Amino acid sequence: MPTTKNSSDAVSILHKRYVRGDPDREASLEEERLNAKVARMVYELRTEAGLSQKELADLVGTQQPAISRLEDADYEGHSLSMLNRIAMALKRKLVVEMRAEDI
């Protein structure tokens, strides 16, 4: 008799139970992952450059709270314009791409 391996990984269990198969929840999860990725990227690049939020804000021409919001994974107001200004201030190039969805 074949046995099935039960997962003990809480994230996998919760994903199977509450997200998988629900297009709205899957889209929401993907959006949250993207927000977290952008926040982490801005934070890591800023700290790698040895800058405080205020110093980066000054370079970009904005206020420190704007940088703080961008580094918050729950923030949903990212603009390509602001991300490009940050990239230029950090001597980086912003790259945006669209990929086919994994099916």
- Which pLDDT tens digit goes with each residue over 18-76? 677 767 777 777 788 889 999 999 999 999 999 999 999 999 999 999 999 999 999 98
Taking only Cα atoms into account, the Rg of the chain, rounded to an integer number of angstroms, comes to 18
How high is the pLDDT of residue 5? 58
pLDDT at position 9 is: 80
CATH class assigned to 21-89: mainly alpha
The least confident of 21-25, 79-83, 88-92 is 21-25
Q: What is the pLDDT of residue 2?
A: 52
pLDDT at 7: 55
CA angle 51, 66, 99 (to 5 degrees): 90
Decide if pLDDT at 1 tops 60: no
Give residue 38's pLDDT: 93
Phi, psi of 21 (to 5 degrees): 90, -5
Domain ranges of the chain: 21-89
Nearest to 71 by CA among 90, 61, 56: 56
